[in-house]
Structure 1
Amino acid sequence: MLPIYILLTEGYSDWEIAPLAGLGRAFYGADLQFVSPTGGALTSIAGLPIAQTKRFEPPKEGVVVVCGGPSFETDVAPQLIDHLCSAFENGCVIAGICGGTLALAHARLLDQVRHTSNGPGYLEGFVPNYAGTAHYVDSPKAVRDGSIITAPAPATASFATEVLIAAGLNAQAARQITALLGREHGG
């Protein structure tokens, strides 16, 4: 499988990447790299500290996952446009969940592909130059269109599944995540 770079910011929503990080590494041996815009220590929205992250540099291959968090909904959101565009141009799959979709919208990566987020109007509310309204899909599950994966906050299982498939895991094996976690909810 290709490496998966999980991009975290201060106050990141730890539960959004839990199925990907936990099941991805434990069950499938995924190569997970935890990165942040500047490197260093971070604390999640739940108060979970991470002692060290690597500084995010656009990889040459793999999947870049932008984990959501309240920082993306502020006027001082992390500036990721150049790095996300470079990673995309390098051939990486770019994935965003919840507020992470705002970073993809700022980078104009959602303008021409099917995508979803936290509901109609969410992207427009935080990204003045968002131009992907015609391609927006109001979906409770992750949406993949080519090299872009997006998901609303509650879609952690389908998001993990799509990211692992993009990294090269057999689709049938990856779909065990949604089957396993969906049983609790009757799906």
Structure 2
Amino acid sequence: MKNIIIYAMDTMADWEYAYLTTEVVGAESVHPGRFRVLFAGATATPVRTLGGLSITPETTVAEVDLDSAAALVLPGGQTWGEGHDEVLSLAKRAVEAGVPLGAICGATFGIARAGLLDAIPHTSNDPSFLEQSGYSGSSLYEFREAVTAGGVTTASGLRPVPFTAEILVAAGVLPAGYANAWRELNASPTLANYEEYVRQSKAFAAATRRGHP
């Protein structure tokens, strides 16, 4: 079983990771034993999310084993302007090891500070937001809902669904067709999009029964 590691920190934005946890559990209900969500904190001390929820990390950043990781996800929060050195170091090692890295909203500022966006296409809340980090990748900024390049997925904090869809595919939780159908249905709940989502859902279930999710 592979771990979807979510960094747990005070002020972490609830809506930016909640879609991911829900979709991973949903995929596991269809084809169990592949993935689980694992919250990792700087320490094992409970953190308080932006929505006031208390989350107790199941492990620490120092204890994370990248060999068993399917993805490392950094939610946004109000403290990415400085610090978080240990998880940013882990993020660098994840990229080097080929483990998909996701950063959304404020976390894009953190990985920009760490130099992880200097040489790859990316997005965030706004170009001027990232420029304050002092990074050198501003020419590669793209005005898109979510961008995956060089093993790194970035997104605005206002686009958690596209961000989640990209992570689900990068980590291997869902096939691209299914993840994209879910993304399109959330963007526009038309009958055609619903029917495509149902078709992709049934295909995913049938594929898992054959042993090929």
TM-score normalised to the size of structure 1? 0.88
Please report how far the alpha carbon of residue 176 of structure 1 lies from its aligned counterpart in structure 2 after TM superposition: 3.0
CA apart distance, 1:58: 5.4
Matched, 1:147 2:178: no
Q: Which consecutive residues of structure 1, in runs of 5 or more, have no partner in the other structure? A: none
Contact 1:58 1:83 in 2 (8 A): no
Aligned Cα RMSD in Å?
Answer: 2.0
Would you say 1:5 and 2:5 are equivalent positions? yes
1:8 & 1:41 partners in 2: Cα distance? 9
1:104-128 Cα offsets, whole Å, 9 max, x none, are: 1122111111000011211112x12
Q: Is 1:78 aligned to residue 84 of structure 2?
A: yes
Residue of structure 2 equivalent to 1:69? 77
Q: Following superposition of structure 1 onto structure 2, how do residues 29-108 of structure 1 map, counting pairs within 5 Å?
A: 29=28, 30-56=35-61, 57=64, 59-60=66-67, 61-73=69-81, 75=82, 77-79=83-85, 80-108=87-115
With CA pairs under 8 Å and 6+ residues apart, which has the higher RCO, 1 or 2?
1
Give the fraction of aligned pairs with identical amino acids, expressed as a percent: 29
Which secondary structure state, in structure 1, belongs to the residue aligned with residue 101 of structure 2?
Answer: strand
Q: Partner amino acid for 1:89? A: E
The residue that corresponds to 2:198 in the other structure is none
Gap change, CA 1:184 and 1:122, over 3 Å in 2: farther
Q: Distance in 1 between matches of 2:46 and 2:138?
A: 36
Q: CA deviation at 1:84?
A: 1.3
Q: Distance in 1 between matches of 2:44 and 2:136?
A: 31
SS at match of 1:5: strand
- Structure 1 residue 184, shift from structure 2 partner: 5.5
Equivalent-residue separation in structure 2 for 1:86 and 1:166 (angstroms)? 17
SS in 1 for 2:167: helix
1:122 aligns with 2:129: yes
CA deviation after TM superposition for structure 1 residue 52, in Å = 3.5
1:12–1:70 Cα contact (<8 Å) kept: yes
Q: Could you tell me how far 1:12 is from its partner in structure 2? A: 0.5
Give the Cα–Cα distance (whole angstroms) in 2 for the partners of residues 151 and 39 of structure 1. Answer: 28
Q: Is this contact kept in 1: 2:41–2:57, CA < 8 A?
A: no
Deviation (angstroms), 1:179: 2.5
Instruction: Normalising by structure 2, report the TM-score.
Output: 0.78
Deviation at 1:95, TM superposition (A): 0.9
Equivalent residue for 2:187, pick from 176, 182, 187:
182
Aligned with 2:66: secondary structure?
A: coil
Q: How many residues align?
A: 180
Partners of 1:156 and 1:175 lie apart in 2 by 14
Q: CA deviation digits over 1:111-160, x for unaligned, max 9?
A: 111000011211112x12x0111111122x11111301000001111100
Aligned position for 1:22? 22
- Write 1 or 2 for the structure with the bigger share of helix: 2
C-alpha distance in 2 between matches for 1:91 and 1:150: 16
Task: Flag the 1:81–1:52 CA change in 2: closer, same or farther, 3 A.
Answer: closer
| 1:132 to 1:58, Cα distance in 2 relative to 1, 3 A | farther
Distance 1:2 1:173, change over 3 A: farther
Give structure 2 stretches of 5+ with no counterpart: 29-34, 194-213
CA distance in structure 1 between the partners assigned to 2:45 and 2:118 by the alignment: 32
Contact 1:40 1:53 (C-alpha < 8 Å) held by counterparts = no
Judge conservation of contact 2:5–2:72 (CA < 8 Å) in 1: yes
